[in-house]
Structures are given as C-alpha cells and as structure tokens.
Chains A and B, each alone.
Chain A
Amino acid sequence: MGRLKQKGKAGAAKAYVTRSAAVKKLQCSLADFRRLCILKGIFPREPRNKKKANKGSSAPTSFYYAKDIAYLAHEPVLKKLREHKAFAKKLSRALGRGEWSSAQSLEENKPVYRLDHIIKERYPTFIDAVRDIDDALCMIFLFASLPSNARVAPSLIENCSRLASEWQLYVMHTRALRKVFLSIKGVYYQAEVMDQTVTWLVPYQFTQSIPVDVDVRVMLTFLELYQTLVGFVFFKLYTDAGLVYPPPQDTDKDESGAGVGAFRLQESTSQSSSAPRAKEVEVNGKRVSTKDVRQTIKSIAASAHGEAEADLPAADSTVAEEDDEEFVQHPSTSNPDETTSLPTLRSLAAIPQSTTSKLFAPYTFWLSRESSRPIFEFIVRSYGGRIGWPESSGSGSPIDETDETITHVIIDRPVVERPDETEEEKERRRRRKYVQPQWVVDCINAGRILLEESYLQGKTLPPHLSPFGDYVGAYDPTAGTTGEDAEMEEDEEDVEEDAVMEGEDDETAETVRPETAALKAAAEAEDEAALRAAELQAEAAGVDYGTFEKEAKKAAKKAAKTPAKADGEAEQEMNKMMMSNKQRKLYERMKYGEKKRSTEKQNLEQKKRVIEKEKRKRSKP
C-alpha cells in the first residue's frame, strides 16, 4: 500500500502561490514586489484548476509559480531594495534631526541597483534581446517626446531622446527600415535588424501630458529596464557595425534642435577599443568587412553567367564602402556611379534590401515647414536620399532651399497662387515635383518609386493602406469588385429595372399585366408539366418565346442551385447531432469566428459598393 497522500503537499497546491503569499514570503512591500516582477519579467500564471491551487478557495486571486518566487528571493535587486528601505529611514531621521552633513553623506552612499545581470538572464543571447526590443523602443520614443515634470526627471527625458536618436542613426546607417505606416495613433516603423523584424510606434510631434489614471511608477520602472536593455543592445549593434558607442554628441547642434543630426557616427578604427571585432580582416591595408566578402561572393556567382559585368561588382563594393565611410554627408558623390552600377544591382536582385534600401538615392528632397522633420528626415535618409529643411524646423540642414539638386519638395499645403514669384522661383517650381508626404511612405511600402501624379500638391490623396497586411482572407480594399459581386450588382440593377417597368405598367395600362404574370409563372415552374402550362400561359399572354425561354432557364438555374445546396446543408446539419459535446463547442466557436469575419468583410464590401455607386451617380450628371 502506498503512502497516503496529504492535501496541499503536491501538485497545483505546491506549484502555485498567490500574490499575497509571495509578498509575505519575500518580506517586501507590494510596490517593491511589482517592481521586481517588472524587472525580472515574472508574470502571473493561470492554474488549470484555481480551487486546487488556492487551497480550496475560489476567491479571485492571481497566482505565481512558486519556483519563480523562490528564484526572486535570491535576487540581488531585492537585497538592494531592502537596503534602500533602510537608507530611506536613516535619511528621513537625519533630515528630521537637522543633521545635514550626515544626511548628505548618506545620500552620497545611497544603494543603487544595477540591472545588467537581469538583462543577461532574461535575454541569454543577443537575438532574444533584439526580438523583444519593440516595447522598449515604443516607450523610449514616447518618453523622448514627453515634457519633464516633477515625476519625470529631465535627465530621464534627455537620456530617452539620446537613445531614440541612436536607434534612428543605426537604422539609417544600416538601411534597415522596411515599412512605414502613418496611422491615427502615430507612425509605425518596421525595421529588420539581425533578421528580426522590429516594429515601433512613434507619436506625432505634439506635447502630451501623462494622464492621471496612469500609474507613473509602473511606467518608470519599465523605462528603467528598457533603458538598460536598449543601451546594451545598441552597444552590441554599434560595435558589430564597427561604430563607436555611444556616438559623440554635438551639444551646440543639439541645442539648436538638430535632433538626429547632433550625433556623429564614428568608425572605431583603433584596435585599442575593447570591443572585439573578429569579423574584420585587414587586406593590403584596406579594411574588408563581412559585407564586402559577401558581395564579392555574389559577384563571383554573377560572373558565371555574365563576364561583361565581371568588373562592375568591384565598383559596387567600393561604392558601398564609400557609403559606409561617409554615411550621409556626401552621398551625392555616389550618385553618378549609381547609374553604372544599376545592372549589377539587377543581378543582385536576390537580396531585396539592396534594391529597395537605396530607393531615394537619386533624389534630393526639400521638406516644407509644415511637415514633421523627424519623421521624414529619418525615412528619407534611411532610403539613401538627401533631405533639407528650413531653419524653422531645426538647424543642421545640409542644403538650403535654392539648391539646384532638389528634385522633390514634400509639401502638405493647399496650392496657393503666388503672382509675385520671380522668374527664378518659377523656374525652380517647374523643375521640382511638389508631392504630399504620403508619397514618400507609399513609395517605401510599395518598394518602388510611384508616379507622383496622384500625390501632387493639392490633390486628393489615394487611401493610405497598411503595409503590415491583415489575416488571410480579410477584406482587401485594393481588389476590385469580383465577378460574383458584379453579377449580383447586375441582378440588383435588373430588379430595379423590373421595378421601374412594373411601375410604368401600372401607370400605362392594366392589360400588359398577364405578360409579367406568365413570366413569373415560368420562373416558379418546378417540373415539366408546370413549365408547359406556364409556356402556354405565356403564349396566350403574348410573350415571345425567346424571352420566355430566357426567364425559364434563369429560374431553373436558380432552382437547381438552391435545393442541392439545401440538401447538403440539411444532411450536415443532421450529422452535427452525432458530434460530441466538446467537438460541438469547438465547432461552434470556429464557426462563430468565421461568421464574424465574413460579416465584417461583407459589411466592408457592401459599403464599398454603395460608395462606388454614389460616386458613379455623382459623376454621371
């Protein structure tokens, strides 16, 4: 006979602890516990059976893994938090007694915790960290745009904006930006870093204030973690790209609102730098990066079927190198080469990023003052374009408005006639293309330069669609009305016409009525005999045979379609009786979801049809 099992000694009762039990065990306050959970990434779990986990009570509580809590008990941060509690007591005592010097020395030696080990624990490999960087970036970009106040220190805001700029610099440098979406919430960016897609949301440039129903402590704790995480990730990204981290900042430029331009990317040239750079090899005194090696391999592969292009990849590699070195400062020098290297690019089309990442390389943009500089500077520079802006949008513009190389002006204003334009200005206006900001984003999402026609200044813009797509089978606004729809539409129109005709009949004469009645009879006729009777009736009424036949056929088709379907459905409906309860519930849930999606789609299609019809109606008269 086995040992008797005691209640609460095994299974869910031991594996889970409630939150209050966890707080009691850790001997810390609830606020400290929350902080620890945020930093360590520990979250509540849902036990299979709540009653078993909570000693028979079904009161609503949140449960944690007992092992998670045991693991928290040895956390150095928890120790520091306890030390901090003691420190706070000492400090308040010193202040209360007016012992200023001891208070100061206490303050100087106040316990500070580091989160390095937590980062390493939570993200054992670099890829893990990059994969989870989305939320961190969103928060950092949000706090970079917030005003400082009593609860949010200015140094924090400053650090966040520095980190935001560093991320943007990195993305611009590596040409990692893939998709941009202008939404009503803000701008979504998606970049591909280390083969991971990173999506982040940046609010539009408006001053926001933290609402009262938001717990700032929680946000700041998250931000604390995110700052550390992002710092380490950036360090690794920068050093892997052969850059110095942190990039030196030009304070003068920063103060004059240069934003990203206040930072200067610096190649880490000397070997003295502590970061190991195993990937770089010196060949004939020239630095060869992995990228170069890869490109050379590609060029060799390309030369197998095109000897004529054999020497071009080398040129391309030099271009790439030049780009790397001089980043964005003088990209125009690479412009003339661009045309010659195009065939090579085509041969390298296997790598999509090389084609699209230089989308704007041949163009120079001028940003008019009403469009947001941080957004478009980042987008255009990520795709290799040059961009300038007026002084009112911040300093650091590489070109001014009269620059001859400007090809596009990003403008978001209605067209205004200006009679006092000089001849030179008019000439300039003729040479440049004035496009609305959406054009830039749509070009990126399409992966090619779109025609500027529909995006010109003052035009009504085509809809801006999400580049992220939707679930499979969702409504696609770009698709035209399908055949079935068209048919349905036709039917509808027929019905309408019929209705009109009937109306006319009513108005004109009662005598024409038998015709329609006969046709109706034909439509309703089910079997041969009835059909014949209907035919006779139609003949008597004076309907010609062609019309009758057409009507009859249509009706027959409709009739054939419906019962077969109905039969199958009825059978299936009956077979559902034999499903088990579990299966039935699953089936019903799936069907519910399916139905919901399809109604949503139909709803959208219906709306589109109505809108199109209205448009047609408006355009007709």
Chain B
Amino acid sequence: MGAAELNKKSKKRKAADEAPAPVPFPEDVGLDMHSEDEGGDEAEADDEDDGEADEFPEIDTRSDSEGEDGSAGDEEEDESEDEEDEEESEADTEDDDLRIYPKPKTVISDITGQPKRVYPEIEPDYDSDSSTEDTPNRVGNIPMHWYDDLPHLGYDINGKKVLRAARGDELDKFLETVEDPSAWTSAFDKNIQMDKPLTEEELDLIRRLQENENPDAGYNPYEPTVEWFTGKGKEEVMPLSAAPEPKRRWVPSKWEKQKVMKIVRAIRQGRIIPNKPKTASSQPQSYAIWNDEPSNVPAPLPAPKPRLPTNAESYNPPEEYLPTEEERKQWEETDKEDRERDFMPQKYGALRLVPAYDQFIQERFSRQLDLYLAPRVQRVKLQIDPNSLIPKLPSPSSLKPFPVYKSLQVSHDGHRVRALSVSPDGAWAVSGDENGNVGLWEVMVGKEVKRWKFQGKVGAVEWCPRTDVSFFVVGIEEQLHFIIPPNLSTPILLATQTLLAPATLPPAPATPSPVKWVSTAAAASSSDSPILTLHLPPSSGLPKQVVWHRKGDYLSTVSSGEGQGGVWIHQISRRHSQAPFRKVKGSIQLVLFHPTKPHFFVATQRYVRMYNLAEQKLLKTLMPGIRWISCMDVHPSGDHLIVGGYDRKLCWFDLELSDKPYKILRYHTRALRSVHFHPTYPLFASSSDDGSIQVFHARVYNDLMTNPLIVPLKILRGHNIKDGLGVLQVRWCPRQPWLVSAGADGEVAVWCS
C-alpha cells in the first residue's frame, strides 16, 4: 500500500507540474487542491442550477473536441480527482497521523465570484508532510502478542527499543475514563499499546456505519445521470438489426381478446357474478339435510355425556352436604386434577345471592379438550356382586379333623429351632436348635426325655422311617450323627445296633469315597453318644437337610457349603456314600426322594429338576416362577409337589399335568419357611416368617379329570417373630391330624384338632 501510494504521489506531482498553475499556490500540494477544487465547483454547478449548467457544456464539448493536450489535462484532472477520493478514504481508514488535509475555509473567489474552499497554508518544514511522519514502532505488521512478556514494544527506526508505556491498574483505567471526558471516544492502539483518541474522521465513519449510511462521506448516491448514448442528438444512426418492427408491438392481442370475451360471456350468462353480495353467501344456510336416505355407514360412537349434577351441586343443598372445615382444607390442598369434585358445595339462602361460577368457561374448555384430545376406551361395566368372585369352597367345619389349637409347648431356651422331626410311630419328636441342643420329647405330653449337646448348630434332624429299627440322624457341621433313642424295646434296639454297627463290615466300595463312616461297637454304644458318625468331606459346611428314602436304607443330605460336595446319598446297608451329581447348574437348595418311584427331586434356587436315579437321567424341569425356593414337599401319592419360596408364593405342581404350577397361592405376608404334606390325612401345612401356620385341606383324586381340591382350613397363630424369622419348621404327626411346629422364638408347639 505504501509503495503504491508513493507512486501515485509522484504521479500527482508530475501532473501538477504540467498543469497551468495559478500563482498564489506555490506548493504542489496546494496545486493539487486547487485543481480538485475546480472540479468540485464544476460538479456543484452541474448539480445546482440549470442556467449555469447550460453554460458549461461548452467546456465539455471543448474538452471533448480539443486535442491531446486537453484530453490529457482532462485525464489528469480525473486522475487527481480519483486520487483525492482515494486519499480521503485512506484518511478515513487509517490513523490520525496519515491525515493530510487541514480544514478548509470557504471564501468567495475574486476571479469567478463563486464560493471556494481555501486551505490554510502549510509550513514547508519536515513535519508538514504527514506521509513522512512515522510511527515510533517499526516492527511492522506482526502479531503484537509476541512482545507481551517483554518490557518493550518493538524497535524504532534506529533500532532502539520502544519501551512500553506504564499502564495503570484497573482502578486507574476507570479513573481515567471518569476524568477524561474524551475517554469514551478513544480506542486501544495495538502498535503503541496505548489508548488513543479517535479522530473526527474516524468518529464520523463509525457514526455512518451505525446509521447504515455509506461510509464514504463524499459519496453521492443521487448523481445526475449522464446520458452518453441516448438523448437528444445521440440517436443511433446505424441500428444493429435491420429487421422491421414486429406486428405484435402495436396490434392488440387476439388471444387476450378471446379470454376477455369468455369472461364477458360468462358474466352475461350469469355464470360469473362480479361483486356478488357477500351477506347472502357468508351466512350459513340451513336446509333439510336429513331428508334424503341416510347412508348405511354406522354413525360414529357418540361422545360420553358428562355426569349429571347431584344434590351436592345445588345452590341450596341439604346441610349435610356442606363440607366441614377439614374437608374444605383438604379439598383446597389437593391438586386440581386430583380432586374428586371440581366444586365445593355451598349453600345460599336465596337465588339472588348466587354468584357467577368462576370456573364455568374453564370447565367447558376442559370438556372440549376431553372431546378431541382424550383417547376414548369402551369399557364393559361389570354388574356383579364382588363376593361372587370368591370361589365357593366347602366349609372347613365339614373337613374336620385338622389342628385347631395349641395343645402344648416345649421350650429351647430361646435358641432358634431349625430342625424338627417326628418318629414314624408318632409318639416321639426330636428338635434341634442353633445352640447345638437336640431334645427328645413325647408328643402327647411334651415331656423332654433326653437332651444331647453338640458342638455348633444343628442343621437337620430326621427319624429313620423304618419301624423295625428306631434311630434318628442329627446333622451338624460336616458330620452326621446317628443316635438311638433311649428306652427302646430290646429287639428293636438290637436290630438298630446291628444295622448301624454291624459286626462284619460290608466290603469297601471299589472307589473310595471321601465320606468316612465311623461307628462305635454295638456293645459300647449307648443312647448318650452317636452310634454311627459320618464325616462329610471337609469344608462341606452344615447339612441343611437330611432326607430319608421311604424304605429307610438311603438318606440324602444337602450341605450348605460351596462346591460340588453339596449333595450326598448315603446307603446304610452298604455303608457307602456317593455324590449323585458331578456337575450342578445352580446352587442346590433341597432334595427329595419320590415316595414310590426311583425318582429324585433337586431344587435349585429357581427350578426343580426331577431325575430318574435308576436310569440316571433328567426327567423334567419344573418352573415354579419363584425367585428363591425355600421348601418343597411331595404328596404321598407322588403325583403332586408343593414348592414354597422366599417370595411368599406357594406353587402346587401336578406332575402329570405340566411343568408349570397348577396353582400359585400367595397368602403369607412374609417368606415361606416350610411346607409338609400329611402322610395319611389329606392335609398340608405351610409356615412362614409372618409367624403363622396355614393349614390346607388338599384332596387329590385318582381320576385324571378332576382337579385337586385345595381348601384353606385354618390359620394357626402362636409363634412369635424373632429377628424377622417366624415359624421355621412344621411337621405332621404320622397317625394323627396333629401338627408340630418349631419357631425362631425357641418354642416348639404341638397343635391338636
């Protein structure tokens, strides 16, 4: 830019030298202005009055017609004009120091008599030429942030550092803005890192930009047109085309006429009525719309009608409809949508006192919203007595006997009794608590005959179902103890002793089992200590469950320990133990022998699998839909299974029917803990953590067509809930409809009919 500028300047000077210069202007700069001035005057004269404009064409023609000199002069003039424009724009855009021209004065010219601008004389010293004035900083057009960390700003022409001016803190800046009235018209100059006041020209430029004007002050948008090629005396003598003017330029259009005539005809015939009266057509006319045959399309369903007002809505309702203070408060507190009534009943003594209802329009509006925004569903209204939904079952009184009341109670000193078993003849019961005590007592009188003390918790206690021998198994940590109760008749005692501690041990199995069978000699054995002890593999944990096969030769245990060693089947006669499952899917909760067939039920957390032990294959998987199975029992007939879960459900499976439960009952309020079928009576019981025992009548029919009949009979309450645990175990007495239950409160109760 600078170079171009200089170039132009020199050109300008040359032009000024050539031009005929008036005397009073000795300097080239002045000359320049003079010429510019004249040009300006010319333009002004052209603009303003026609009279003078008439005079001027002479000059124009002269300039046109004149020779090279004139044309050259003209060119120069133009050029200088251009330059002036340029410079003005430069002055506008650039900084103050680039401003060349001081303010002119307007005086009447002596020669022409026209007003003209006269600029003050300029001292021809070094400073007068602003073009040579330079900025102190000579670093050039570089990003100034390079100097941000330095104490100087750059270098002047002599290579000396230009030091950064001291700048105050924010407070100083603020004070400056307050003290200096021109502070708001100053802007930050990056080159010298200081605030510099804006010049008049810059402010003017800003103002123009703000007002959406042309930023160039000298730009005149309304220049008069200069007719170069048209107008008087400038007609083309030689047109470009010699074609005659087409006819359509002057003949009226035939097609337009046809179109118009069409409309005219339509108006004449009355097909189009121009400016027809609006009132008649805008008013909707009613006519007999329903007189012709109705279409056989069925009418859309009418919208449901709003409910008709009741007594409460009356302006003078009976006094009992008026809300109490409490009801009123409650009504006001509920949200508008949740209110049962959209109004508050009110009583007015006379009709004239009834005010306007303030929600009237809102209610109308909400009705309309209902009509077009609410989905409608057709519902069949049930007109039945709700009590007819309750199934009709035989009365419990007709299904007697079943346990009704608590006849006696045996205490375990407050220790949780988890294990309970009743002897096959129904006379004795053993119960084991978490403290390691196992008590033997009579069911009839509740008298404790003997008590054993073991180390650790007692996980399970189970009588052998055989009647020719009599003993029971106690499961404690990693051990099973076989105990013979005291006071047995001699033949039975002998039979038991020979069974559990035979003189000649059966041959050891081919594959050694990790379960060790240790028995004391029959002679040395007493009822105080176990006659036979099975040592389950280490870390197998507490046996949670001991189940006997019906014949009393096999028993199965489920231990709580992790891993594969959970389930064992022990055979007494062969003194042999085996783990039936090599790999188990899920953690086994319970196992059960089928009463008649060689089937074996295994309950994991969610499923119950039924295996055929003889064929060693899976028969079915029952899906009770319980999250965590807690207890299970099989019907004496072997065709039905009940499964209870910690999620309060009890499922009844008909094994012939389906893998899914035939019936799901949910009546306990807490987790089920134990279920048990009565061996002879059609009864079963379930116990739960809610402290109650529910007794059912469960009749199973032999024909496959009739569904089993399940009738709830009685809820037995009497156990206390301790630490969230209620009744942990229920067992039936085999010969009587009596129930024995063990609770977490350390009590064992017998319920009699």
Contacts and interface: CB of A to CB of B under 8 A. Distances in A.
B300 A231 contact: no
* Contact residues on B (Cβ < 8 Å of other chain), bracket: 35 or more
Contacts of A246: 286
5 contacts: A135-B367, A208-B361, A234-B286, A436-B351, A464-B314
Interface stretch (A2-10, A179-187, A290-298, A542-550): A179-187
A587 B305 CA distance: 27
A219 B389 contact: no
B357 A587 contact: no
Contacts of B349: 460-461
Contacts of B351: 182, 371-372, 412, 436-438
Contacts of B359: 185
A181 B392 CA distance: 47
Contact of A607 (B278, B294, B320, B382): B320
B300 A122 contact: yes
B294 A124 contact: yes
Interface string B272-316: 000100100110101111110011011110110110111101111
B360 interface: yes
Interface string B147-181: 00000000000000000000000000000000000
Nearest to A231: B286
Contacts of B352: 370-371, 412-413
Interface stretch (A42-50, A75-83, A390-398): A42-50
Contacts of B311: 463, 465-466, 470, 477
B302 A114 contact: no
A166 B367 CA distance: 24
Given A181-B313, A211-B361, A436-B351, 15 more contacts: A41-B300, A122-B299, A124-B295, A128-B299, A135-B371, A139-B364, A204-B357, A218-B368, A231-B286, A372-B351, A461-B316, A463-B316, A470-B310, A574-B396, A578-B665
B390 interface: yes
Given A45-B375, A203-B356, A371-B352, A245 B286 contact: yes
Given A46-B377, A236-B290, A579-B391, A574 B318 contact: no
Given A46-B377, A138-B364, A461-B316, A436 B350 contact: yes
A576 B310 CA distance: 36
Contacts of B387: 572
A206 B305 CA distance: 26
A322 interface: no
B321 A577 contact: no
A206 B355 contact: yes
A218 B357 CA distance: 21
A608 B356 contact: no
B300, B321, B373 — which one has the most chain A CB atoms within 10 A of its CB? B300
Interface string B364-399: 110111011111110000100011011111011000
A43 B371 contact: yes
Interface string A354-385: 00000000000000001110000000000000
Nearest to B317: A463
B561 interface: no
A594 interface: yes
Interface string A131-153: 11011001100100000000000
A466 B316 CA distance: 10
Contacts of A579: 389-391
Contacts, number: 255
A203 B357 contact: yes
B343 interface: yes
Contacts of A571: 395-396
A611 B318 CA distance: 10
A206 B356 contact: yes
Contacts of A370: 352
A122 B294 CA distance: 11
Interface in A214-228: 214-215, 218-219, 222, 227-228
Interface of B: 275, 278, 281-282, 284, 286-291, 294-295, 297-300, 302-303, 305-306, 308-311, 313-321, 324, 343, 345-346, 348-352, 354-357, 359-365, 367-369, 371-377, 382, 386-387, 389-393, 395-396, 663-667, 710-713, 715
A120 interface: yes
A611 B363 CA distance: 33
Contacts of A437: 351
A128 B286 CA distance: 18
A83 B138 CA distance: 70
Interface in A157-207: 181-186, 188, 199, 203-204, 206
Contact of A412 (B288, B291, B350, B382): B350
A591 B291 CA distance: 50
Interface in A94-134: 108, 112, 114-116, 119-120, 122-126, 128-129, 131-132, 134
Nearest to B321: A604
A112 B310 contact: no
Contact of B310 (A185, A213, A235, A468): A468
A244 to B, nearest CB: 12
A39 B61 CA distance: 79
Interface residues of A, number: 104
B390 A587 contact: yes
A15 interface: no
Nearest to A112: B282
Nearest to B366: A214
B278, B305, B368 — which one has the most chain A CB atoms within 10 A of its CB? B368
Given A214-B362, A235-B286, A583 B354 contact: no
A604 B308 contact: no
A239 interface: yes
B362 A208 contact: no
Interface string A580-613: 0101001100110010000000001101100100
B661 to A, nearest CB: 12
B374 A43 contact: yes
A63 B367 CA distance: 20
Contacts of B290: 120, 123, 125-126, 129, 232, 236
A590 B382 contact: yes
Nearest to A138: B364
Given A119-B289, A125-B290, A575-B390, A468 B354 contact: no
A556 interface: no
A44 B391 CA distance: 39
B309 A464 contact: no
A443 B310 CA distance: 18
A412 B345 CA distance: 21
Contacts of B316: 182, 438, 461, 463-464
A243 interface: no
Nearest to B665: A577
B547 to A, nearest CB: 28
B303 A132 contact: yes
A172 to B, nearest CB: 20
A184 B299 contact: no
A62 B377 contact: no
Contact of B361 (A142, A372, A572): A142
Given A214-B362, A412-B350, A183 B286 contact: no
Nearest to A128: B299
Nearest to A179: B308
Nearest to B368: A222
Contacts of B294: 124-125
A380 B280 CA distance: 37
A248 to B, nearest CB: 15
A90 interface: no
A122, A219, A276, A571 — which one has the most chain B CB atoms within 10 A of its CB? A571
A450 interface: no
A160 B367 CA distance: 19
Q: Which 9 A-B pairs have the closest CB atoms?
A: A206-B356, A468-B308, A590-B386, A235-B286, A607-B320, A574-B712, A46-B375, A577-B667, A463-B318
A577 B286 contact: no
A185 B357 contact: yes
B365 A215 contact: yes
A215 B286 CA distance: 28
